[in-house]
Amino acid sequence: MTVERESSTEQHIRDVAQRLKALPELKPPEWSSFVKTGVHNQRPPQDPDWWWIRAAAVLRKIERSGSLGTQKLRKVYGGRKNRGHKPEHKFKASGSVLRKILQQLESAGLVSKTKKHGRAITQKGSAMLLEAAKGLKGKS
């Protein structure tokens, strides 16, 4: 059952990413083709649509967790770094990538700033996620 849930989650994120790709506000910066998503990674992402997939995952994470800021998202998307013979150590993800994605989602009207806790999802963003989920349910 968990395998089905994970695959449907991935499908949901990919469907939302395709919807985000159609928005003119969400465009990857020119540096996104060669930047790593964190110091724990050895190479940049290989998927050409990684910017929209990460934006969709961030949007879904904000909806599920309430309001989140850049620092909390850095912790969520961080990972373990291979340090050779030394023990692995957890590192945070790139703040610049997440900050730019949040700014683009905000300019698209999908998230909005809160007074204390980063950004929260708007009705437009929630409706986009719900519409994608309904489309995914219709495919099953």
pLDDT digit string (tens) for 79-100? 999 989 999 999 999 999 999 9
Integer angstrom CA distances of residue 105 from 8, 17, 25, 40, 73: 23, 12, 8, 25, 14
Tokens in use for 67? 């309001």
In a domain, 6, yes or no: yes
What is the count of structural domains for the chain? 1
In a domain, 43, yes or no: no
In a domain, 39, yes or no: no
The parent domain of residue 13 ranges over 2-23+49-139
pLDDT, mean of residues 133-140: 74
3-state secondary structure 44-97: CCCCCCHHHHHHHHHHHHHHHHCCECHHHHHHHCCEEECCCCCCCEEECECHHH
CATH code, domain with 101: 1.10.10.10
Question: pTM to 2 decimals?
Answer: 0.88
How confident is the model at residue 41, as a pLDDT?
87
In a domain, 107, yes or no: yes
State the average pLDDT for the chain. Answer: 89
| Distance (Å, whole) CA 15 – CA 22 | 11
| Distance (Å, whole) CA 78 – CA 93 | 4
In a domain, 34, yes or no: no
Task: Identify the H or E element spanning 111.
Answer: strand 111-113
CA nearest neighbour of 132 among 6, 51, 12, 4: 12
In a domain, 111, yes or no: yes
How confident is the model at residue 33, as a pLDDT?
87
| Distance (Å, whole) CA 80 – CA 55 | 22
Contact 102, 58 (CB under 8 A): yes
